[in-house]
Amino acid sequence: MVKTSQARLTTRHQSFDGWLLLSTLSLMLIGWVMVTSASTEIAASLTGNPYYFSIRHGIFVLASIGVGLVAVRLPLDWWRQKGPLMLIVALLLLFTVLIVGREINGSRRWISLGIINVQASEVAKLCLIVYVAGYLERFLPEVRRSWGAFMRPLAVMALIGFLLILEPDYGAVVVLTGCVMGMLLLSGAPLWRFLLILAIVGSGAVMLAVAEPYRLQRITSFANPWADQYNTGYQLTQALIAFGRGHWFGLGLGNSVQKLFYLPEAHTDFVFAVLAEELGLFGAVGVILLFALLVFRAFRIGRKAELAGIPFAAYLCYGIALVIGAQAFINISVSSGMLPTKGLTLPLLSYGGSSLIISGIMMAILFRVDVEVRRLQRRPKPSAGSEDDTRPPGEAVEPTL
């Protein structure tokens, strides 16, 4: 009986990971529904059309799927070769946004391209993951043995982090730093190096936090938002009220009270609070489980690629899993009052074209890795005396998606 259930749940004999597809499409669909619900009042107030943000988000979802379908046809070798170029593109975008970027809520994070705004930090996430994955494949033994090779990716991250701080975008700095350090840890670098760096970075973070009054104010308001609930603690207290209203099963889809101009950024950074209010504890936990499933499948695909002898693909999957997991964790923690307020979207769920399209490309890369690993595993082993297939893993293999 148990074996039969396991056989039904496994995706081993399929051409791609069905669980990854289920979690990805479910999150995108839930996101579209929740953005529609959370944005109707603010959209009607700003534009006169209650479905303005819903229509735009729907276009972004379709664009994300379309770009993903293109990206899934790119062989891993293409990403491997473009890693250094992508890093240069990321640095140029981060420089450009500081000069000509559009300022919103005190941060200069977006480059206006007419009908859309490109968020430079979202593009930098993908570019940095691809670059570090290629670096680890080329210099893996040196990274494990020497400090110099170990510190080079962190030096690149420090430069990117400096540019992000100038925007400022501290949330992206935290996510990308955690991603790079996680990829180095999973590559087999000694643990004591990370403990030493964490101690140094932690001390620097404390100094940065107390250097500016508004940062210290964010921390103190996070610790006790009710002490100043109509000023510094306003956004967090409104989010907590939304969680409290939701109870077990929620108020029902579309019945949120907090989205009626009480909770700022209800359809972007705090969409999870509206979701918890309308769908309750069960709905919120369901979304968290979907994220957990997505991250687990990404790590599993990466592990399979590592065992198949494709380190670039493995570290690519690990980086994507770390970014998606860290960003989802931070966004949900901020919404529920577990972390200080950060300007981070909820991947695949929050309103935002740049985030959705980059997330779609990341999911496409996961599918591409999964397809190539499955093809490699199913390839018959050469018999004695026969010619071996000399094509390196990661080269053009057409996926059946």
Phi, psi of 73 (to 5 degrees): -90, -5
Q: What is the DSSP string of 231-269?
A: TTTHHHHHHHHHHHHHTTT-S-TT--STTTTTSTTTTTT
Q: Can you give the pTM of this predicted structure?
A: 0.89
What pLDDT, in 10s, does the model give residues 121-148?
999 999 999 999 999 999 999 999 999 9
Residue 65 has what pLDDT? Answer: 96
Whether pLDDT at 319 is above 50: yes
Torsion angles phi and psi, residue 176, rounded to 5: -70, -40
Name the region of 112 (left: φ>0; alpha: ψ -120 to 50; beta: rest).
beta
How far is Cα 90 from Cα 157, in angstroms, rounded to an integer? 11
Q: What is the tens place of the pLDDT at every residue in 5-41?
A: 555 566 666 777 889 999 999 999 999 999 999 999 9
- For residue 389, what pLDDT band results from cuts at 50, 70 and 90? very low
Residue 339 has pLDDT above 50, yes or no: yes
The band of 231, judged by pLDDT with boundaries at 50, 70 and 90, is confident
Give the separation between CA 298 and CA 317, rounded to whole angstroms: 6
Average pLDDT over residues 57-67: 95
Between 176 and 386, whose confidence is greater? 176
- What is the tens place of the pLDDT at every residue in 345-374? 899 999 988 999 999 999 999 999 999 998
Average pLDDT over residues 53-75: 95
What 3-state DSSP class applies to 390? coil
Q: Is the peptide bond before 168 cis (omega within 30 degrees of 0)?
A: yes
Confidence of residue 401 (pLDDT cuts 50, 70, 90): very low
Unique residue bearing structure tokens 């004695």: 384
* CA atoms within 13 A of residue 355's CA, in its CB half-sphere: 21
Contacts of 34 (CB under 8 A, 6+ apart): 267, 271, 274, 275, 278, 349
In a 10 Å sphere around its CB, with 0-12 CB exposed, 13-18 middle and 19+ buried, how is residue 387 labelled?
Answer: exposed
Higher pLDDT, 228 or 141: 141
The per-residue pLDDT of the chain, averaged, comes to: 87
CA distance 157 to 128: 8
